[in-house]
Structures are given as structure tokens and as C-alpha cells.
């Protein structure tokens, strides 16, 4: 378990590397939007997990979509990891009552295996001033059949690309996440991206069998990104979502992949084989933007450890670090406290 002092250092390390810190807001995934909806478990979900939200009745949910960048500037059209944090309101669906969270991003893997890796990453992947690569340098890259350095976006003066690349070049475990993050693009809609809860959890079935699993949300509308060669638009995702939900609900399927012996259970940098059994656990239906965006878009505080009987955390050190780090971050911005159980809620 990562202590609160380490968690504070983790949050401080993130804040120290922001281009423009935003006191009172989330240090990363700062810009977001809250959405209301409900989740219906599939017929087979209860065979794999006894958790309350997989029993088959309608469960009210609050979802927060976000851009990964930290800071108050909104750049929807920039290539960036997006977040989808989902709260399942249990036992009657009261918003401040017992709940469980599922936190996911569009990145399929993480770039650090543990807290030590993460600290080193924050040291190497610092914000650096960026400028357009000279045409001659680009030609030299082309002659070497080398991936060109991305042109900075309009108004982009610093980024962490060079540092992240340097880290990945040194540590092979980080290469997949860094490479995928560099290629990730911008979704045309928050509802047109796949979101992965990168950590392994242990789920328990009605017979007491425990299985290692990883969850992901797959958009029913399909995956689509914007044209990377077009000038990016800074603000469109919230309006697009509002307009979309005004016309028709948006849906996601919750897929659960079951790991096998030998799969990386405690290492979020390692993907599992696509050959693992995938189970449809249910359908999320998003109906409207939350009316109170301060409460449901900003103050709402998620935590990957807000779990219910039937789902347990794995030994993943990053997952363990996130528990306290999310709480430290919440306290710093005055978000809603971490309630894990019904007893806590009372």
C-alpha cells in the first residue's frame, strides 16, 4: 500500500510538471463534463461476478468524460488521452449513497510499472519548449525512414513529448504506452472512443471462483478520430455530446477480459493477448449532460478503490498508489470524499 506521503509526492510531481497549474481543479484530466445515464448488466454478467451492479437491474450512473491534459486550457482537438470515469450508484441509486467506480482511459496500457518508475518518468518527461522542426531536419528524418517529430499545435509552446520518448527509448516496458499515446489522436466525440481500465481486478463468481479480469468500455457508435492533418478545434466535445444526447442516447458495452495463468496481473504496462475470453458484462446508456456540472462534473471524486463485494484490486503497485493519490488530489481541490461502503455513506 502506498502511504499518503508518497501519494502527496506523486501528486506534487504531476503538478510540478504542468504547463499551467490550476489550483482547486484536478491536476490532470482537468477539463471534463459530467453525464447521467444508467447501466444494465447482461444476462451472463452475474455468472462471472457477484457485484451488485452485475445482478441485472437498472443501475443509475454518473460519468465524467475528460481530456487528459492538466491545466485550465481546453484543447479538445489535440491528440490526447481521454478519460471516462464511471460511478455506479448502488442500493437505490442515490447520488451520495453507496457506489462503485470504474476509471478508464483511451490508453490501453500505462507507461510505469510501479511508483519508482513513475517518479523517474516525471523527472525525465519534463515540459520542454517546443518549436517546429526545421525543414532540413525533417528531410534528414525522411532519408533515415524515421518518424518525424510532430509539429506543435497553434499556441503549444511546451510539451513532454521529447522527455517521454527519451524515457521510452531507455525503458522498453514504457514503449507501448508512449508510442500509443503519441498516435492516439482526438476523438470526434467522447462517445466514439474505447476506454480501458488498465489495471487487473479480481472478480468473484457465485461459486466463489475468483478470476483476474480487465474491463473496457466499447462504444456502440464505433471508434472515430478527427483528421490529424486538419487544424485542431479547441472546444467541441462538450457541445457535440450535448447535441448527440439531445437527439438520442449514447451507449457503451462493458467488456470484461479474463486473464490466464502467466498473464501480467500486477503490471499495467503489459497488455493481455487478444486471445483471452471476452465477456459482455452489460450496456451503459448515457441520456443527458448532468444538470449540475459543478457537483457531477467537478466536485465528484472517483477512486479506483471504490469497490464492492465481488470485485477486488490486484497487487498492481500503480493501482495501489492511485488509491491515496486520488484522495490527496481530492483534498487539495475540495472534492467529495471517498465513500466505499454503505456504512461510510451513513
Cβ proximity to another protein: between 57 and 132 the closer is 132
User: Least distance from C-beta 128 to another protein, angstroms?
Assistant: 16
Cβ proximity to another protein: between 36 and 161 the closer is 161
Rounded Cα distance, 338 and 72, in Å:
24
Q: Is 23 an interacting residue with respect to another protein (CB under 8 A)?
A: no
Cβ atoms 33, 244 nearer than 8 A: no
Cβ proximity to another protein: between 6 and 280 the closer is 280
Q: Is 147 an interacting residue with respect to another protein (CB under 8 A)?
A: yes
Q: How many amino acids of this chain bind another protein (CB under 8 A)?
A: 44
Cβ atoms 84, 115 nearer than 8 A: no
User: Least distance from C-beta 145 to another protein, angstroms?
Assistant: 4
Interface residue with another protein, options 152, 205, 283, 340 (CB under 8 A): 152
Interface residue with another protein, options 1, 23, 43, 145 (CB under 8 A): 145
Under rule CB under 8 A, which residues in 258-277 are in contact with another protein?
258, 260-263, 271, 273-277
Supply 155's cell numbers.
499556441
Supply 332's cell numbers.
487539495
The separation between the first and the last C-alpha atoms of the chain, rounded to the nearest angstrom, is 26
Q: Is 116 an interacting residue with respect to another protein (CB under 8 A)?
A: no
CA dihedral 258, 110, 270, 117 (to 10 degrees): -130
Give strand pairing partners of 61.
37, 88
Cβ atoms 164, 178 nearer than 8 A: yes
Contact characters 157-196, another protein, x per CB under 8 A: --------x--xxxxxx-xx-xxx----------------
Rounded Cα distance, 63 and 87, in Å:
6
Cβ atoms 64, 296 nearer than 8 A: yes
Rounded Cα distance, 199 and 269, in Å:
9
Rounded Cα distance, 48 and 205, in Å:
5
User: Least distance from C-beta 259 to another protein, angstroms?
Assistant: 9
Under rule CB under 8 A, which residues in 219-248 are in contact with another protein?
229-232
User: Least distance from C-beta 154 to another protein, angstroms?
Assistant: 5
Cβ atoms 7, 325 nearer than 8 A: yes
- Binding residues for another protein, rule: CB under 8 A, are 132, 135, 138-139, 141-147, 149, 151-154, 165, 168-173, 175-176, 178-180, 229-232, 258, 260-263, 271, 273-278
Amino acid at each position: 500500500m502506498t502511504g499518503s506521503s508518497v501519494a502527496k509526492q506523486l501528486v506534487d510531481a504531476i503538478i510540478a510538471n504542468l504547463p499551467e497549474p490550476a489550483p482547486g481543479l484536478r491536476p490532470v484530466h482537468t477539463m471534463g463534463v459530467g453525464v447521467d445515464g444508467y447501466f444494465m448488466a447482461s444476462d451472463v454478467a452475474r455468472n462471472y461476478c457477484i457485484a451488485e451492479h452485475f445482478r441485472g437491474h437498472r443501475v443509475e450512473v454518473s460519468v465524467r468524460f475528460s481530456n487528459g491534459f492538466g491545466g485550465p486550457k481546453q484543447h479538445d482537438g489535440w491528440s490526447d488521452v481521454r478519460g471516462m470515469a464511471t460511478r455506479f450508484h448502488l442500493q437505490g441509486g442515490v447520488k451520495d449513497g453507496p457506489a462503485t467506480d470504474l476509471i478508464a482511459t483511451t490508453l490501453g496500457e500505462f507507461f510505469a510499472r510501479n511508483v519508482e518508475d513513475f517518479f523517474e518518468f516525471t523527472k525525465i518527461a519534463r515540459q520542454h519548449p517546443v518549436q517546429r522542426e526545421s525543414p532540413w531536419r525533417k528531410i534528414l528524418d525522411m532519408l533515415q525512414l524515421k518518424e518525424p517529430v510532430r509539429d506543435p499545435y497553434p499556441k503549444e509552446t511546451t510539451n513532454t513529448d521529447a522527455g517521454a520518448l527519451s524515457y521510452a527509448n531507455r525503458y522498453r516496458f514504457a514503449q507501448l504506452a508512449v508510442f500509443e499515446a503519441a498516435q492516439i489522436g482526438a476523438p470526434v466525440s467522447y462517445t466514439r472512443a474505447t476506454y480501458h481500465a488498465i489495471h487487473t481486478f479480481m472478480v468473484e463468481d457465485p461459486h466463489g471462483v475468483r478470476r483476474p479480469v480487465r474491463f473496457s468500455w466499447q462504444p456502440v457508435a464505433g471508434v472515430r478520430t478527427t483528421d490529424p492533418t486538419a487544424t485542431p478545434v479547441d472546444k467541441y466535445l462538450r457541445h457535440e455530446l450535448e447535441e448527440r444526447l439531445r437527439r438520442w442516447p449514447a451507449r457503451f458495452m462493458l467488456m470484461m477480459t479474463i486473464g490466464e495463468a502467466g498473464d501480467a496481473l500486477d503490471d499495467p504496462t503489459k497488455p493481455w493477448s487478444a486471445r483471452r475470453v471476452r465477456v459482455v458484462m452489460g450496456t451503459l446508456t448515457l441520456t443527458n449532460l448532468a444538470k449540475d456540472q459543478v457537483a457531477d462534473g467537478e466536485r465528484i471524486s472517483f477512486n479506483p478503490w471504490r469497490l464492492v463485494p465481488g470485485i477486488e484490486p490486484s497487487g498492481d503497485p500503480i493501482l495501489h498508489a492511485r488509491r491515496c493519490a486520488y484522495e490527496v488530489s481530492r483534498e487539495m481541490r475540495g472534492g467529495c470524499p471517498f465513500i466505499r461502503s454503505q456504512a461510510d455513506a451513513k
